[in-house]
Structure 1
């Protein structure tokens, strides 16, 4: 243990001596956690709409006011030429076109029906679907308002009516940041555990100091622990600052579940991702190789972890990959404990899964390390 103590002192001195590494470890994750949730928002707003009004009636003006006053749409062009509106979409200045035909108000009053035309730019499928749905809902509400003006509801409703009320559990304000911050924090901790750990060990290979250690009587177990423990401690520190500093202070997220339960899973998760970092370092001879391999896996970890898209909507083969991703399970645990207040009984199988990841990756890394050094 005395040998391990000196190795840890050496590693911490080496980390804090590296002026380029310190901002990447401490400053970058915190700044990213402060900025990324503001951009990672699936609520579509500021949709540009071009309106072609051939009617110029009071009803068409009321409809336009209702659309622009909804808070979702920005009027990019108002004209009576559909060709001009089409150019707006082609130049990416508009996302939707609403064409109001001539005699719209007259047909609505005299013939009890009117038609409008909606054209949607579907290059961005998410924005197209939501924008079209928003506009259809606004037109439906506008239609109901007109029907009430011409056909007031009877004082006594003789037909049965079903009323639906909604109750939003776990995130009553529907604040998307509360959903994203725990997931983003997990990916940042993964970056430190896997990415930085791999680069640190490979750097020893590049400068040749690892060869000097190999000729000493230091056991490889102590050497590996000396490399992993500092980044384990740094990962815990960054997680704490992100959870209590950024999450609570800036975004007002207060974990409903046990903090001790979160840290217990964090400790196990860091062991698993540090094993991944160690494994990458055993296959890499230069920092450039380690960065390329780590970047490849980090992209998979982020995009197939349920951070941005639901795993349930993925195809079967993608679900298998997602379930073999340790980041997937920690993100799910974070959201369950922080937002739902889940207990150990709810996530006990997640502990077993993460224990399997930790044993598998670290055992593979140690075995491969013995073969290559």
Structure 2
């Protein structure tokens, strides 16, 4: 017990002695959590549309007005030919080119249909697919609201067509605001980056300054050494997580719908698993540069495969398998379910057992791989 107290006292002194580390652990994630959700947004706006209107009719003007007033598009040019519209895409001044053919209004009234030409810049895949879908939605809405009576060929009666109306309700995020989806995920990623990188550098720093040799000749057991390295950063991680929840509530008005106790239970287990990974990396690396590169590799995999940017269910089978073998995937899922949906422990217990398994395996490997000579 005295040995553990000695190790913990030493670690806390090292943490609070280094002002840069303190700023990295507390100030940086707080500032990032405030700023990043404002910029990290999957919603596409300010899509530049060049329109080529060959008809110049009242209906073509109504369509263009509806597009411009939707809040997603900016009508940036009115070239007199489709070729010049494509030139605007090449120059980067337009993302989409909408060509309205001659006879647009006449064909709508007489024929009841009319084709439009839409060309999309696909260099930015997200912007092109989402922007194109938005514009098609606006055109479809314009089409549904046209007050045109199409006469039947046989008489003067109006052809009646069946219509299906759909009312959509977004559960757990009524207005489909991205901040409710993004903020919990960003909180998890910041906790992952801070915890993963700092612990990965911890034992390596001891190697570089030579204090590891002094520790190795003491009667400290390997598990005591690893535990002494883990506990201080676990406490720091829980404080960072608490600060993140406070920022989430004060800045974005998001308060967990589910149990805070359940949320903290998962955070505690997740941090043990994550810090175990950092300590395992630290036992392999000989320099801080090596540890940083190894940790960076894992952090990138965690970020891209966690389901934060893309839905894990949409991934190929092999990618879904890799995703399931990363602890951050399960913690992001749990945080979103508890914060937004208010899920109970019984609904996320499988994720709890996953994290328990990661914690045992990663810390066990860190203890096993730590080479202590006496």
Q: Could you tell me the TM-score, scaled by structure 2's length?
A: 0.93
Q: State the match for 2:362 in structure 1.
A: 361
What are the Cα deviations for residues 68-101 of structure 1, in whole angstroms up to 9, with x where unaligned?
Answer: 1111101121121222211111122211101112
CA shift in 2, pair 1:342/1:113, >3 Å: closer
8 A contact 2:226–2:366 mirrored in 1: no
Alignment of 1:68-217 (within 5 A): 68-146=68-146, 148-150=147-149, 162-217=164-219
* In structure 1, C-alpha distance between the alignment counterparts of 2:112 and 2:180, rounded to whole Å: 46
Root-mean-square deviation (Å):
2.1
Worse overlay, 203-212 or 218-227 = 218-227
Alignment of 1:1-373 (within 5 A): 1-146=1-146, 148-150=147-149, 162-243=164-245, 245-370=246-371
8 A contact 2:216–2:372 mirrored in 1: no
* In structure 2, C-alpha distance between the alignment counterparts of 1:224 and 1:112, rounded to whole Å: 75
8 A contact 2:82–2:99 mirrored in 1: yes
Q: How many residues align?
A: 368
CA shift in 2, pair 1:135/1:254, >3 Å: same
In structure 2, stretches of 5+ residues that fail to align are 152-158
8 A contact 2:112–2:150 mirrored in 1: no
Deviation at 1:4, TM superposition (A): 1.6
What are the Cα deviations for residues 9-64 of structure 1, in whole angstroms up to 9, with x where unaligned?
Answer: 22111111112222211111111111221222111111111111222222222111
* In structure 1, C-alpha distance between the alignment counterparts of 2:170 and 2:108, rounded to whole Å: 38
8 A contact 1:323–1:329 mirrored in 2: yes
SS at match of 2:56: coil
Deviation at 1:149, TM superposition (A): 4.3
SS at match of 2:93: coil
What are the Cα deviations for residues 311-369 of structure 1, in whole angstroms up to 9, with x where unaligned?
Answer: 01100000000000100001111111111111111111222111111111111111110
* In structure 2, C-alpha distance between the alignment counterparts of 1:31 and 1:216, rounded to whole Å: 41
What are the Cα deviations for residues 167-191 of structure 1, in whole angstroms up to 9, with x where unaligned?
Answer: 2211112111111111111111112
Q: Could you tell me the TM-score, scaled by structure 1's length?
A: 0.93
Q: State the match for 2:154 in structure 1.
A: none
CA shift in 2, pair 1:9/1:343, >3 Å: same
SS at match of 1:306: coil
8 A contact 1:181–1:247 mirrored in 2: yes
8 A contact 2:37–2:182 mirrored in 1: yes
